[in-house]
Amino acid sequence: MFHQLIHFLTGIWHNSPLIAAFAAIIITQVLKIPIHFILYRVWDLHKVVDAGGMPSSHAAGAAALTTALAYVVGPQSPTFATAVVFTAIVMYDAGGIRRHAGEHAALLNRIAMEMRRSGMTIQSSPEPVFEGERLKEILGHEPREVVVGAILGIMIGAVFGKWWW
């Protein structure tokens, strides 16, 4: 049993596309902290676990996986082709659908705030809604955040795909 676990973990460690994807996600999430400081002059350590923001870790992880796969299995591989389609969907989702969901959340929060100010209440669920409860507004990315994430992911994926074990 222990030998099988070691074999499994060693296999993961030598899987450069997987390591590239995780490394890209971690690196881009950590980069959000100093980038947020540069843009807003506020240190926010919570950015390391937040969705949204510069750069897109979704785009970086998917692009790193795809790039490393190009090195490992070759661009003619069906596995690489699958990863390209997966990356396109992830980037579209991060920069489109999730971003628009965040914009909708911002609008709903503004409507709820105006309703509270005017004294109106609407009970939308059987559970009580607490004062100050807001929908999460930053869910997706601006297109430039997706592009920067993808560029970082490609660079990280190339490094891991070419030189990792």
- Residues 21-58: tens digit of each pLDDT: 999 999 999 999 999 899 889 898 877 887 778 899 99
Residue 99 confidence (pLDDT):
62
Asked whether the beta carbons of 18 and 109 are under 8 A apart, the reply is no
- Rounded to 5°, the CA angle 2-4-6 comes to 70
Closest CA to 161 of 94, 92, 80, 56: 80
Residue 116 confidence (pLDDT):
73
Q: Which residue has the higher pLDDT, 84 or 163?
A: 84
The confidence band for 81, taking pLDDT boundaries of 50, 70 and 90, is: very high
The rounded distance, in Å, linking the Cα atoms of 156 and 101 is 29
The confidence band for 98, taking pLDDT boundaries of 50, 70 and 90, is: low
- Residues 52-79: tens digit of each pLDDT: 788 999 999 999 999 999 999 999 999 9
Asked whether the beta carbons of 55 and 144 are under 8 A apart, the reply is no
How far lies 79's CA from each of 60, 63, 67, 72, in Å?
Answer: 18, 14, 12, 10
Residue 140 confidence (pLDDT):
66
Asked whether the beta carbons of 162 and 69 are under 8 A apart, the reply is no
Asked whether the beta carbons of 135 and 105 are under 8 A apart, the reply is yes
Residue 125 confidence (pLDDT):
57
- Map out the domains of the chain as residue ranges: 2-163
How far lies 58's CA from each of 19, 42, 81, in Å?
Answer: 15, 24, 18
